[in-house]
Structure 1
Amino acid sequence: MDHLTKLEEMLDQANGKFREGKYEEASNILEKIIDLDSNFGKAYNHLGWMYDTKFKEFDKAETLYKLCLEKSPMYPAVYYNYAVLLSSLGRYDDLKTHLDLAITIPGVSKSSIYNEYGIMYEQQGKLDLAIDNYKKCGLHSLDQKTVDRAKQGIERCKSKQYFL
């Protein structure tokens, strides 16, 4: 078994531990991957996601996401995960810069990124821009649930416009 295949198998093991709710075990596997190969960016993304969503250690999560972006800039998952973190922290200038990059990366879901633009603009009260991006989200998706979510975002923004 070659080196990369071994790392990918270990990453799959860590994902299994995540699904089982065994976060410490998952973290240990990911740390071991990084010890074996500090340039395997996917491990940083997965650790970042864990620190972000499970431990709420946002500074640590951001550091790990940035390491993934540095080591594996073509890994699509980190673009979405880091966008969600920046959005939840209300760091809209950083988020806009990040989304502008993410939309250009092959393999990154355009629909997901347009949804994140929509959320960002909606949170800022820029409802026309939010609606435009929710429309793009729907147009770029082949998944009916995503299309329905985009419609809900548009309707929600139109409702909010009543208050302006």
Structure 2
Amino acid sequence: MDILYTVEEKYLQAIEELHYGELPKALHLFKEIINSDTDYARAHYQLGCCYHYQFKDYQTAGYYYKNCADLDPAFPDVYEHYLKLVITLKMKKMVHQIASKALTVPGVCKANIYESLGLFAEEEQNFVDAKEQYKKAALATASQNEHSQIQEHLKRISDKQNANQYMIYAYQG
């Protein structure tokens, strides 16, 4: 292996290892980066993603995502994944904290944040809030595919709301 002189070079090497499916090498490099520079937020983010999606170790993923957000609050990539994690863990208070912070950071895809909030509200059976969040997502999206997906969410919410309505039968005799 080549001798890497800077943290950025190690980071790029680790990203390349991930790209080629070498997760153990990438993890080793990310941890080396953190050992040499504990404030390198992107390494924390990448470790969070690895633990979240590869290992399903949500506590460790949350630790790394939180570190990344604390170290570099302006790093936009962390918020969408961190939000999905706290939604998975059903941490209602944290969901709203992370979402409100994410919506203020330049570079964060607002449509994805609103969509995640809509999915969370839908899971909570709060269809009115879910519909509101999906409408915000539809206004924030610039992609036709994403817009179509949001429209499907809105239709599903309408169907669920209609299914919960009481049926009134009239007797005709």
Q: Same fold (TM over 0.5)?
A: yes
Q: Which letter does structure 2 place at the counterpart of 1:19?
A: H
What pairs with 1:9-158 in structure 2 (closer than 5 Å)?
9-158=9-158
**Alpha-carbon distance between aligned partners in 2 of 1:135 and 1:12, rounded to the nearest angstrom:** 38
Task: Check 1:55–1:161 CA distance in 2 against 1; reply closer, same or farther (3 A cut).
Answer: same
**Alpha-carbon distance between aligned partners in 2 of 1:111 and 1:30, rounded to the nearest angstrom:** 30
Q: Which has the larger radius of gyration?
A: 2
Deviation, 1:52, is 0.7
Deviation, 1:11, is 2.3
Q: Which letter does structure 1 place at the counterpart of 2:159?
A: S
* Aligned sequence identity (%): 28
Q: Which letter does structure 2 place at the counterpart of 1:10?
A: K
**Alpha-carbon distance between aligned partners in 2 of 1:10 and 1:141, rounded to the nearest angstrom:** 35
**Alpha-carbon distance between aligned partners in 2 of 1:138 and 1:8, rounded to the nearest angstrom:** 37
**Alpha-carbon distance between aligned partners in 2 of 1:158 and 1:9, rounded to the nearest angstrom:** 50
**Alpha-carbon distance between aligned partners in 1 of 2:155 and 2:9, rounded to the nearest angstrom:** 43
What pairs with 1:2-13 in structure 2 (closer than 5 Å)?
6-13=6-13
The Cα offsets for residues 129-159 of structure 1, whole Å up to 9 and x where unpaired, read as: 1111111112111111211111111111111
**Alpha-carbon distance between aligned partners in 2 of 1:133 and 1:67, rounded to the nearest angstrom:** 28
Deviation, 1:97, is 1.6
Instruction: Report the TM-score, using the length of structure 2 for normalisation.
Output: 0.86
Runs of 5+ consecutive residues of structure 2 not aligned to the other structure: 165-173
**Alpha-carbon distance between aligned partners in 1 of 2:9 and 2:153, rounded to the nearest angstrom:** 38
Runs of 5+ consecutive residues of structure 1 not aligned to the other structure: none
Larger helix proportion of the pair: 1
